[in-house]
């Protein structure tokens, strides 16, 4: 007795094919170099390192007369933060050594964080060059999160990848101020580039999956 082959309807065949593909995707390993794994790793990284900060970790900040005359960074930026109510200024007296080690007594303009400024001073856990963990504070102006992973390329073999991505940006409310954008141009440019500008981050492969190199 002969039997004719059973033919599945095209729609059912397509459904089964899709289900099989989804099943294979669900079984992908965390160590695979894939958009799914790098998206998860990037989200983890930006949750810990997504704050865009200004490099102002030690407070209060003193500005000398020489810095004011030369237009140094803090001499330009701190008055804007004062105008925005984030810092308060006072006059203080200090002893400061010059390049020859000679101490000079002088008055400085001292800036301290106000109640309005304190929420933007964030303390994060960091890993030092020798591997020890430490806490580091910084005054931050925006927070980045992942928009989309675009591509990845091997950095130093298959165990390190440079991931290129676009990002979303949530600036601090005071970064809407025109003067703040003028004295913090890097922050302003990063915020304007949200959704289109590309950033990169290096990831290393571990037994558990992909981890940002500086975590």
pLDDT of 20: 44
pLDDT of 59: 97
3-state secondary structure of 174: helix
Mention every residue, 6+ apart, whose C-beta is less than 8 A from residue 74: 56, 61, 63, 67, 111
Query: Closest Cα to residue 52, out of 134, 137, 114, 144?
Result: 144
How many CB atoms neighbour CB 45 within 10 A? 22
Triad 172, 173, 174: Cα angle to 5°: 90
Residue 11 has pLDDT above 70, yes or no: no
In tens, the pLDDT along 99-131 reads: 878 888 889 999 999 999 999 999 988 777 777
pLDDT of 156: 75
Residue 183, Cβ density class (10 Å: 0-12 exposed, 13-18 middle, ≥19 buried)? middle
Residue 3 has pLDDT above 50, yes or no: no
Mention every residue, 6+ apart, whose C-beta is less than 8 A from residue 2: none
Does residue 158 or residue 14 have the better pLDDT?
158
């Amino acid at each position: 007795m002969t039997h004719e082959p059973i033919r599945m309807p095209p729609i059912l065949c397509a459904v089964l094919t899709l289900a099989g593909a989804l099943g294979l995707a669900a079984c992908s390993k965390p160590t695979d170099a894939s958009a799914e794994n790098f998206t998860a790793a990037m989200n983890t990284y930006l949750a810990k390192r997504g704050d865009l900060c200004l490099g102002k970790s030690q407070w209060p900040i003193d500005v000398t007369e020489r810095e004011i005359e030369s237009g140094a960074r803090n001499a330009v930026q701190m008055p804007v933060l004062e105008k925005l109510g984030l810092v308060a200024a006072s006059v203080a007296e200090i002893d400061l050594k010059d390049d020859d080690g000679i101490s000079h007594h002088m008055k400085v303009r001292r800036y301290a964080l106000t109640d309005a400024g304190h929420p933007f001073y964030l303390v994060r856990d960091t890993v030092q060059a020798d591997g020890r963990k430490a806490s580091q504070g910084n005054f931050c102006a925006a927070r980045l999160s992942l928009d989309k992973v675009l591509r990845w390329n091997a950095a130093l073999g298959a165990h390190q990848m440079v991931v290129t991505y676009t990002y979303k940006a949530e600036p601090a409310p005071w970064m809407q101020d025109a003067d703040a954008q003028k004295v913090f141009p890097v922050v302003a440019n990063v915020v304007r580039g949200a959704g289109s500008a590309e950033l990169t981050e290096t990831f290393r492969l571990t037994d558990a999956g992909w981890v940002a190199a500086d975590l």
